[in-house]
């Protein structure tokens, strides 16, 4: 989990030394070393420190104690802005201890640096026997809202922990427990509709996808409501498929290996909701999380079945491995009943999104140009990359069914799998306000300092920045 930041005012003489960190561009290095004691210059030269991006050197005193840290920012960006998220790499290269920035580099935001450091301290060691090797903490620069940084970092760590956890430890019941605890922490109302009660409460698509799971892992619809009812309604919807076998259209083993992360949308929805509630944004927040296991059993849904939906539209199941959009259809319909001013849905929905943009850039879909601009601005502010994709009308007919109102697998000629998935969801999305769908990956396939391979929180820091700007 993310270690907490500390502030200089919270420390006492017994807390030990605070080590200064000098963050340097390449063109600053010579002047910096000229102004430092000879042992600093000598150790930097001995370590071949050239201030390359991410390069880190812990400089000892002549007596062997840690004196300071040099951290490279690379070449200065001409006409651009350096990325504060580079500081995510720093904690992994430091020994345990307390650190402070000697100075905030020009053009960088101190709060974003502090957040990057906090994000970089994350590690998932729930199932490892070895003990912790000590904390790396940053004394927050003056003016930084430490409570907000901690709340955002904690929420991102929660999402990453949930995604990293194996399916046997992060099933429907565990996600319900996490959602309930978040609601209780912030004084929100919480409800869970489980198993056959989904049919009684008109969530037939959620039930159909999850009914093949064993009773202890029964499907459920989770709902959190928080905030003044007079405030504009913001609905956050997250896909919670705790494990996706593909159903009767079973995935190959290689495709199933990472399907513990198919509940990434639910994890991100709960994390974003936690940020909103911690910040006490003036909204009426509604969080809707359908949670299922797409299992294989005698009563699993079959290719060719026609399902009912909460919206009253019938859906032909062309592929049981396109199950996420089915449960989101019911959840989005529920959101529409609440007349939201804004609806955000998050889902690990398609491999096509990764083919289009890779694992690091998240595609989003909205017909609202103003909202798209706000999302892009928030993403830039938070260094949380997204890219707007088209809701291309020409592909809508690929979702037409001969025997139902629509089908969950588009005709092959349309090809654009992420686009057609978004078009399917749009059929169920609220029309009273703006709507956006994000096709997230929630995973780092390649590890790096501060970004270990495994679960990753994507797009929600940018969405949080957008919500603050839009509503606060």
Closest C-alpha to 379, from 112, 54, 138: 112
Closest C-alpha to 390, from 351, 422, 430: 422
Q: From CA 453, how far away is CA 47, in angstroms rounded?
A: 28
Q: From CA 421, how far away is CA 396, in angstroms rounded?
A: 10
In the DSSP assignment, the letter for residue 464 is H
In 368-377, which positions are buried (b, 16+ CB within 10 angstroms) versus exposed (e)? Answer: eeebbebbbe
325 is catalytic: yes
Q: From CA 203, how far away is CA 221, in angstroms rounded?
A: 8
Catalytic residue among 137, 220, 310, 325: 325
Rg (CA), the chain: 24
In the numeric block, which tokens belong to residue 125?
């060691």
Q: What's CA 384's distance to the chain center, in Å?
A: 10
The DSSP line for 156-176 is HHHHHHHHHS-TTTSSHHHHH
Distances (CA, A) of 414 to 193, 328, 403: 36, 22, 20
Q: From CA 210, how far away is CA 199, in angstroms rounded?
A: 12
Catalytic residue among 41, 173, 251, 388: 251
**List of residues 6+ apart from 141 with CB closer than 8 A:** 100, 101, 104, 110, 113, 114
Q: What is the 3-state secondary structure (H, E, C) of 58-87?
A: EEECCCCCEEEEEEEEECCCCCCCCCHHHH
251 is catalytic: yes
Closest C-alpha to 228, from 278, 275, 280, 185: 280
Which stretch of DSSP H or E encloses residue 317? Answer: none
- Answer whether 84's CB lies under 8 Å from 141's CB: no
Q: Which are the catalytic amino acids?
A: 251, 325
């Amino acid at each position: 989990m993310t270690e907490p930041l500390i502030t200089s005012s919270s420390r006492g003489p017994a807390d030990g030394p605070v080590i200064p960190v000098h963050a340097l561009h390449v063109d600053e290095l010579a002047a910096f070393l000229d102004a430092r004691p000879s042992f600093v210059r000598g150790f930097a030269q001995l370590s071949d420190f050239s201030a390359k991006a991410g390069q880190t050197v812990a400089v000892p005193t002549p007596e062997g104690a840690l004196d300071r840290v040099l951290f490279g920012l690379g070449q200065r960006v001409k006409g651009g802005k350096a990325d504060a998220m580079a500081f995510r790499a720093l904690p992994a290269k430091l020994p345990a201890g307390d650190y402070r920035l000697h100075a905030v580099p020009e053009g960088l935001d101190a709060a974003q640096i502090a957040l990057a450091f906090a994000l970089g301290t994350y590690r998932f060691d729930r199932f490892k026997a070895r003990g912790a090797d000590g904390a790396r903490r940053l004394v927050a620069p003056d003016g930084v809202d430490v409570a907000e940084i901690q709340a955002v970092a904690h929420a991102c760590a929660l999402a990453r922990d949930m995604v990293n956890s194996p399916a046997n430890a992060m099933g429907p019941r565990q996600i319900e427990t996490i959602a309930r605890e978040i609601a209780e922490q912030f004084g929100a109302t919480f409800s869970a509709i489980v198993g056959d009660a989904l049919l009684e409460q008109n969530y037939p698509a959620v039930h159909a996808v999850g009914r093949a799971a064993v009773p202890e892992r029964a499907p459920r619809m989770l709902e959190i409501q928080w905030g003044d009812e007079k405030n504009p309604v913001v609905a956050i919807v997250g896909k919670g498929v705790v494990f996706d076998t593909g159903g009767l259209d079973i995935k190959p083993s290689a495709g199933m290996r990472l399907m513990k992360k198919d509940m990434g949308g639910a994890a991100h929805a709960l994390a974003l909701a936690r940020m909103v509630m911690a910040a006490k944004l003036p909204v009426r927040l509604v969080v809707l999380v359908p949670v299922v296991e797409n299992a294989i059993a005698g009563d699993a849904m079959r290719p060719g079945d026609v399902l009912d939906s909460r919206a009253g539209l019938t859906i032909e199941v062309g592929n049981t491995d396109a199950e996420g959009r089915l449960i989101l259809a019911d959840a989005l319909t529920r959101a529409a009943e609440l007349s939201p001013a804004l609806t955000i849905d998050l889902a690990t929905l398609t491999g096509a999104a990764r083919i289009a943009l890779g694992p690091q850039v998240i595609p989003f879909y909205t017909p609202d140009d103003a909202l798209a601009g706000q999302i892009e601005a928030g993403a830039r502010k938070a260094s949380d990359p997204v890219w707007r994709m088209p809701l291309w009308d020409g592909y809508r007919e690929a979702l037409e069914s001969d025997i139902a109102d629509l089908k969950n697998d588009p005709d092959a000629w349309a090809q654009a799998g992420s686009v057609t998935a978004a078009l399917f969801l749009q059929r169920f999305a609220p029309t009273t306000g703006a709507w956006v769908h994000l096709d997230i990956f929630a995973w780092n396939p390649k590890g790096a300092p501060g970004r270990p391979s495994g679960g990753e929180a994507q797009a929600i820091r940018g969405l949080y920045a957008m919500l603050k700007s839009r509503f606060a």
